[in-house]
């Protein structure tokens, strides 16, 4: 489950000492105290074990953290380097907090809707598929269809959804879609990750057609699963 990404007041004090960060960069109170308070809110709202009811509230806390870090960064970047022991590293440290908040928000949302990113990426993946259909003997396009389109843009979320299907409460029909997609990916795994085998497949019109047909089935299955689980 997503870990708490917020620094405690003690953590921030260590950063301040390490990089010589002056007090009062934000004028609305202590940055460290505010971050610690948000960290407690993250835990209180169920950040370590998110569910469909708590996800919006947890993401709100993370967005507040991003906004607070953004305010600090805006002020720090306008200050003179001489006001810090190492302004660049201080800024990098707070930028890292921002990245953690954004990444954690994504993980929290994926915990309750692992198909979220696949829902966003399906159009891009389908464009790659159509390009491959138009040029089925192009090894580079077929490779792109396999990875990133089928395996990464869509497949990562589908694999996570399959693993957590019972916990999330997907219907039997959705679980079948997820399993069918995973089976099609597994069928072509050894061929597509081995350069020699991939070249053989692309050069063989029958095998190439089989691959393209299976990718068509995979995206049809993906489209059905996404429609059945749309929020």
Of 112, 147, 177, the residue at which a domain comes to its end is 112
96 and 123 share one domain: no
Tokens of 2: 């997503």
Shared-domain flag, residues 26 and 103? yes
Contact 1, 49 (CB under 8 A): yes
In-domain check, residue 141: yes
Instruction: Return the pLDDT at 95.
Output: 98
Domain end among 112, 147, 173: 112
In this prediction, the residues of the chain whose per-residue pLDDT falls under 50 are none
Residues 103 and 127 placed together within one structural domain of the fold: no
Question: Helix crossing, 172-193 with 195-203: angle to 10°?
Answer: 100
Please indicate, yes or no, whether residues 85 and 143 belong to a single structural domain of this protein: no
Same domain, 83 and 128: no
Domain-embedded: residue 4: no
Domain count across the chain: 2
- At 224 the pLDDT is 96
Measured distance CA(60)–CA(69) in Å, rounded: 14
So what's the pLDDT on residue 28?
84
pLDDT at residue 189, rounded to an integer: 96
Q: Is residue 2 part of a domain?
A: no
Domain carrying residue 85? 9-112
Q: What is the pLDDT of residue 204?
A: 97
Sequence-separated (6 or more) residues with CB below 8 Å from residue 136: 142, 208, 209, 212
User: What are residue 95's phi and psi, to 5 degrees?
Assistant: -60, -35
CA 63 to chain centre: 16
Domain shared by 34 and 85, yes or no: yes
pLDDT of residue 1: 65
């Amino acid at each position: 489950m997503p870990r708490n990404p917020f620094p405690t007041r003690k953590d921030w004090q260590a950063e301040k000492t390490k990089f010589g960060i002056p007090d009062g960069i934000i004028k609305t109170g202590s940055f460290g105290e505010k971050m610690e308070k948000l960290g407690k809110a993250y835990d209180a709202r169920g950040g370590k074990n998110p569910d469909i009811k708590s996800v919006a509230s947890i993401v709100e806390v993370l967005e507040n953290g991003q906004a607070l870090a953004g305010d600090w960064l805006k002020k720090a970047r306008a200050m003179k380097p001489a006001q810090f022991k190492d302004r660049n590293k201080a800024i990098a440290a707070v930028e890292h907090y921002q990245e953690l908040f954004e990444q954690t928000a994504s993980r929290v949302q994926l915990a309750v809707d692992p198909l979220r990113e696949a829902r966003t990426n399906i159009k891009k993946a389908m464009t790659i598929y159509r390009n491959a259909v138009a040029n089925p003997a192009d090894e580079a396009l077929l490779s792109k269809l396999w990875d990133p389109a089928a395996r990464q843009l869509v497949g990562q979320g589908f694999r996570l959804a399959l693993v957590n299907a019972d916990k999330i409460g997907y219907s039997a029909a959705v679980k079948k879609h997820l399993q069918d997609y995973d089976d099609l990916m597994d069928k072509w795994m050894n061929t597509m990750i081995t350069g020699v085998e991939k070249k053989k497949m692309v050069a063989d019109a029958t095998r190439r057609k089989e691959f393209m047909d299976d990718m068509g089935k995979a995206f049809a299955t993906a489209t059905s699963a996404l429609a059945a689980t749309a929020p």
